[in-house]
Amino acid sequence: MIDIKFLRENPDVVRQNIKNKFQDHKLPMVDQVIELDAQNRAYILEADTLRANRNKLSKMIGGLMAKGQKEEAEKVKQQVNEQSARLAECEAKEVELAEQIKQIMMKIPNIIDPSVPIGKDDSENVEIQKYGEPVVPEFEIPYHTDIMERFNGIDLDSARRVAGNGFYYLMGDIARVHSAVISYARDFMIDRGFTYCIPPFMIRSDVVTGVMSFAEMEAMMYKIEGEDLYLIGTSEHSMIGKFIDQIIPGEQLPQTLTSYSPCFRKEKGAHGIEERGVYRIHQFEKQEMIVVCKPEDSMMWYDKLWQNTVDLFRSLDIPVRTLECCSGDLADLKVKSCDVEAWSPRQKKYFEVGSCSNLGDAQARRLRIRVNDNGKKYLAHTLNNTVVAPPRMLIAFLENNLCEDGSVKIPVALRPYMGGKEVLVPVK
């Protein structure tokens, strides 16, 4: 959510930003906000004037009563009552208009960074750099669930009977690899100076609307019936929510946290839930990283965050690339974002395994996260990035470490988390 003062003073910039994000249907919102803001400021001015007059008249009443001029005092009291009634009307209008403005402002996209390429959707994202050499072996790479089934490592049929499509049972060595990857990612980030955290897996509605746009909320979040609680789609939600209504001393920034959580997603409007795969699912686990920092440091942290993911994947011998997300592919709160994609030897292309985002002060404005820097108070900047989400990581891991005989190599970095195993041997 952008600053209303910025919109008031730079409406053309806001309009152009909306056009750059190909959301022209939101252009009328700018004029709506300007009109409502003008009305609200008029009511605020009138209310301030009424309060000042009421205080002045109240003092007059005391003086008149002291002089015994009761009739004149009663007339002034009548004026006070009339002005008090009007003041109540003005204050009610202030609340009403402020809420209308807030609801519209929450739908107007954040101002994107000038470096963001202009494009309609993810097909126009721009490759930044490749890391590692993509390899396509001479033997055929099976579909990832077929590889898992050779190890008796996945049971989709039982999961479908229990919960429906988009869920899975992981078993044996495959389940162990899943847990090993999470544990390795946790320690990887701790070694980089991040504080490990396990957050609440449910959050209240004011946190939900503080960390994401309405469109994202509708497409992702599961609501707990009868409760003001939602299942988190990623631990970023509750981790940023940790700072709601906080004033953080400047010397305590940056806050660098890495968190584990399950993630729950409706995937509404997505490309569809696979019956045989674990690429797009309703429930998975993830290691996340978030940063709360001073505005002048946010772009530096943005580069550090995505580099962490690249380094983790490369430490497991998985080739990756980074993609700059274009304007049309950015969620409304994002200032700048890039995806990390892993190489798929089976598909002979890269696929998304993580996303790094700088949200500027948008989340901080919604959640009222401020910095007190030697008496100067201002909004913090927030960033987030996927360390690793094992379901997709498992796909990349299995495909890139599969041997012709059906076994799977365990990278050196992961072996301590696998009881020293160097290779997984299929049972089928």
Region 88-110 average pLDDT: 95
Percent of the chain with pLDDT over 70: 97
pLDDT band at 199 (very low <50, low <70, confident <90, very high): very high
**Residue 290, C-beta contacts closer than 8 angstroms, at least 6 positions apart:** 236, 239, 240, 255, 256, 257, 258, 259, 382, 383, 384, 385
Answer whether residue 268 shows pLDDT above 80. no
Nearest Cα to Cα of residue 259 among 194, 341, 314? 194
Which pLDDT value is given to residue 1?
83
The answer, yes or no, to whether the previous bond of 254 is cis (omega within 30 of 0) is yes
Residue-wise pLDDT tens digits, 305-326:
999 999 999 999 999 999 999 9
- Return d(Cα 382, Cα 293) in angstroms, integer: 7
Which pLDDT value is given to residue 274?
55
Which pLDDT value is given to residue 327?
98
Which pLDDT value is given to residue 59?
73
pLDDT band at 403 (very low <50, low <70, confident <90, very high): very high
Region 171-179 average pLDDT: 97
pTM, full prediction = 0.90
pLDDT band at 275 (very low <50, low <70, confident <90, very high): low
HEC per residue, 43-77: HHHHHHHHHHHHHHHHHHHHHHHHCCCHHHHHHHH
pLDDT band at 428 (very low <50, low <70, confident <90, very high): confident
- Return d(Cα 138, Cα 402) in angstroms, integer: 12
Answer whether residue 273 shows pLDDT above 60. no
Answer whether residue 207 shows pLDDT above 60. yes
Question: What are the two backbone dihedrals, phi and then psi, of residue 292, each rounded to the nearest 5 degrees?
Answer: -115, 120
| 128 and 338 Cβ atoms separated by less than 8 Å | yes
Measuring CA to CA, how many Å separate 253 from each of 371, 374, 384?
9, 13, 15
Measuring CA to CA, how many Å separate 426 from each of 149, 315, 395?
9, 24, 16
Measuring CA to CA, how many Å separate 193 from each of 321, 345, 350, 385?
24, 33, 29, 15
Alpha-helix residue ranges (DSSP H) falling in 242-383: 298-315, 362-367
Region 9-14 average pLDDT: 97
Region 23-39 average pLDDT: 97
Percent of the chain with pLDDT over 90: 83
At CA 206, angle to CA 201 and CA 212, rounded to 5?
75
User: What tokens appear for 150 in the block?
Assistant: 């050779």
**The length of the chain, given as a count of residues:** 428
**Residue 380, C-beta contacts closer than 8 angstroms, at least 6 positions apart:** 243, 248, 253, 292, 293, 294, 295, 361, 364, 369, 370, 371
Answer whether residue 252 shows pLDDT above 70. yes
**Going from the N-terminus, what domains does the chain have, and what CATH number goes with each?**
4-105 (1.10.287.40), 122-424 (3.30.930.10)
Which pLDDT value is given to residue 219?
81
Which pLDDT value is given to residue 74?
74
Higher pLDDT, 60 or 102: 102
pLDDT band at 188 (very low <50, low <70, confident <90, very high): very high
**Residue 192, C-beta contacts closer than 8 angstroms, at least 6 positions apart:** 308
Higher pLDDT, 217 or 3: 3
- Return d(Cα 361, Cα 225) in angstroms, integer: 32
Higher pLDDT, 162 or 75: 162
Question: What are the two backbone dihedrals, phi and then psi, of residue 205, each rounded to the nearest 5 degrees?
Answer: -65, -35
